[in-house]
Structures are given as C-alpha cells and as structure tokens.
Amino acid sequence: AVVSTQSTGVKSSNLANYRGREVMAFGKVLSNEGKVMSIELCDGGRVTVRFPDVTEASPDSKVEIQGRVEGDGISIAGMQLIHLSDDTDMKITSKTIDVLENWMADCFDFEK
C-alpha cells in the first residue's frame, strides 16, 4: 500500500475526527494476532488495527502505525508498521501531536 506524506499524527482522543483519512498513530503493542493488533496509543487509549497481511510485532514493542481511520472512528486499517526504539517516550510523542495539531489550526485555519 502507498502511504501518503499528508498523514496526521493522532491519539485516541482525536481519532474519530479523522474518519476516512490517512493518519500516523504511535503506541505500544498490547497483542498481535497476525492481521489484527491491539495498540495502546501514546495518550493511553486503545485502538484496534487491522492489516491486510500478517504483520510482525511483539507485545510491548513500540510502533508507528500508518493507516486510514475506519468509519467507526475507533479502529485503523493499517497500511504500514514501523518499529520504534524501546526508549521512545510516548508522553513526549503525545505532547508533540498536541503542539502540531494546535500549530496547524493556528497557521492554516485547520479544524481539530
């Protein structure tokens, strides 16, 4: 799958605002059943990610998910998974997403 460079960083608290759009989500793998993963996102909320093919990621590993928010607003159709360093700080990642979202709203009249 081709992933757009126009993806927005999301958290569980704003996921529903991006239904049908490509996003980047950062978090920790809670469980992996091959094509379906449960992820704890950087703000502590949980999301289900469904991949078209079996995707390797061990529980407790930190990952970036690139995909499209599904119509239910609480799950993601995964297109790509990137493994992150174990020392990736999810609290800082969450704050960074907040800052970028506010900057986009201020600079480009972007609705959150």
Helix (H, G, I), strand (E, B) or coil at 91: helix
CA pair distance 79, 2, nearest whole angstrom: 8
Q: Is 97 exposed, middle or buried (0-12, 13-18, 19+ CB in 10 A)?
A: buried
Res 111: pLDDT: 55
* CA 42 to mean position of chain CA atoms: 9
- The answer to whether the beta carbons of residues 7 and 66 sit under 8 Å apart is yes
Which H or E run contains 41?
Answer: strand 36-41
Tens digit of pLDDT for each residue in 11-32?
A: 999 899 999 999 999 999 999 9
Number of alpha carbons in the 13 Å side-chain half-sphere of residue 48: 11
pLDDT at 6 over 90: no
Helix (H, G, I), strand (E, B) or coil at 13: coil
Tens digit of pLDDT for each residue in 41-79?
A: 999 999 999 999 999 999 999 999 999 999 999 999 999
